[in-house]
Amino acid sequence: MAAAASAAALVETSSGKDAVAEGLVDLLKPAIQQLDLHVHSVRESQVELREHIDNLATELCRINEHQKVALDLDPYVKKLLNARRRVVLVNNILQNAQERLRRLNHNVAKETARRKTMLEASGVFTTRSPSKP
């Protein structure tokens, strides 16, 4: 009898912790997904910016070659190339962060499914249909 009460208390404590964990997962998952979408959007903007910088640097070099007046555009081209390098660096950082977010989201989903399966198997957690209270 005492063993059954002890086991019930353990399941109750475990299910309480699992409920808290599942609640945290449910709370964090939308934020992680939204952050992932924003990172993806920023990465696309970074790629577009890098392409524009490349085009502008190419155009400046072409203008510099065809100028009759000696106008030194090299410092401006170097500044553009430096800006492009920084854009690529930021893009790499964002890509790494997005990959970590993707792995975190995957691990959260996997852990949630594992815990739900474990609770259903122990009989503690039962799925209720919406028509029954």
Helix, strand or coil, per DSSP, at residue 65: helix
Position 130 confidence tier, pLDDT thresholds 50, 70, 90: low
Binned at pLDDT 50, 70 and 90, residue 60 comes out as confident
Q: Which is more confident, 12 or 76?
A: 76
Percentage, residues of the chain above pLDDT 70? 77
87/112 Cα distance (integer angstroms): 37
pLDDT over threshold 70, residue 76: yes
Q: Which residues contact 11 (CB under 8 A, 6 or more apart)?
A: 122, 124
In 3-state terms, what secondary structure has residue 133? Answer: coil
Tell me if 81 sits within 8 A of 57, measured CB to CB. Answer: yes
Cβ contact 91:46 at 8 Å = yes
For residue 49, is pLDDT > 50?
yes
The pLDDT mean for the chain works out to 78
